[in-house]
Amino acid sequence: MNTSTVATPATGLDPRVENLVRGAIDLHCHSGPSVMARYLDHLEAMREASEAGLKAVLLKDHYYSATPVTYLLNKHFSNLGVLMLSGVPLNNAVGGLNVHAVEHGIKLGARLVWMPTFSSANHIDHHKQDHKFTEKFPQTKKKMIDPVPLTVLDANGKLKEEVKDILDLIAEADVVLSAGHLHISEIWPLFDEARKRGVKRLLVNHPTYVVDATLDDMKVLARDGVYMEHSMCMWVPGSKFKFYEPEFLRQIIEAGTVDRTILGSDLGQQGNPRIVDGFRHVIRTCLDLGYGEAEVRKMTSTNASALMGI
């Protein structure tokens, strides 16, 4: 494992925390190879998860689907006891809102489809408007061609036809639809149409960051059965992306409810804490906030399991 990572090892491991780490599921692991700097590769992520007793890990790269990799890991390293998952990120590198990429990914075993993330017009707009954005968000190791902004809506604010075709494939395969880095204003019509077409598994990643969802928005999403995944990296000491304090974690959990909240690491970046230490810290934080072990288990394992159907 790359020793350049800034580790935040738990001191005097807490048995309650370690018990909750065992069986946890990470739906937001950024391992490599990647054009972005990672402290570990996909196999090392599986081994790190195995050592801590995690149940499953979903590999996320913004530029390619890691589904073929997870197939090989599950086949050849099943002894590690961690189920490896991945999905299809609909960014420029795979052709954007490309129904063929979705079909191919699902038939290979992808369990999730992300709407545009780095290539979303919303993400790009945030980048332009915030002069410190490059400090707040991971960057590629080498300069890349400027992205073509993507949105799921046409000039009239209606959902694009190619998105509807993608939704049909997601519904047919009963996999997860993630809103990616779309703005919350885009997510409402996307999810409305997704439900009409039979999509049952809906996810919003880090709704308070880039997506711009308010606490009231999260209440509506929870009421509508949407899972919301919050990034541990935004609360972990030593993380380059630590933006929030524990009290805000309480607020978003209360808005989105324990039953619809998922806590994923969003870690793996070089120079950030280890993925497992992210789990340790945020689990400890939730316990300190007064959440019971059963509630924490929901947010770090069983909700993710229900969403993914594992």
pLDDT digits (tens, 9 = 90+) for 64-79: 999 999 999 999 999 9
Dihedral, CA atoms, 36, 42, 46, 49, nearest 10 degrees?
0
Helix (H, G, I), strand (E, B) or coil at 176: strand
Q: Which of 65, 131, 148, 54 is closest to 104 using CA atoms?
A: 65
Tell me, what's the pLDDT at 249?
98
More confident residue, 2 or 42: 42
Strand order in the sheet with 83-86: 25-29, 56-59, 83-86
Report how far residue 83's alpha carbon sits from residue 263's, in angstroms, rounded to the nearest whole number: 18
CB 2 within 8 A of CB 40: yes
Q: What is the mean pLDDT of residues 100-124?
A: 97
Please report where in the chains the tokens 């919050």 appear, as a residue: 230
Maximum separation of any 2 CA atoms in the chain, in Å: 57
Report how far residue 223's alpha carbon sits from residue 196's, in angstroms, rounded to the nearest whole number: 17
Helix (H, G, I), strand (E, B) or coil at 77: coil
261-264 vs 176-178, strand pairing mode: unpaired
CB 167 within 8 A of CB 191: no
pLDDT digits (tens, 9 = 90+) for 186-243: 999 999 999 999 999 999 999 999 999 999 999 999 999 999 999 999 999 999 999 9
Tell me, what's the pLDDT at 7?
37
Tell me, what's the pLDDT at 136?
65
Tell me, what's the pLDDT at 106?
98
| pLDDT at residue 3 greater than cutoff 60 | no
Report how far residue 11's alpha carbon sits from residue 56's, in angstroms, rounded to the nearest whole number: 25
| pLDDT at residue 23 greater than cutoff 70 | yes
> Percent of the chain scored above 90 by pLDDT?
90
CB 151 within 8 A of CB 161: no
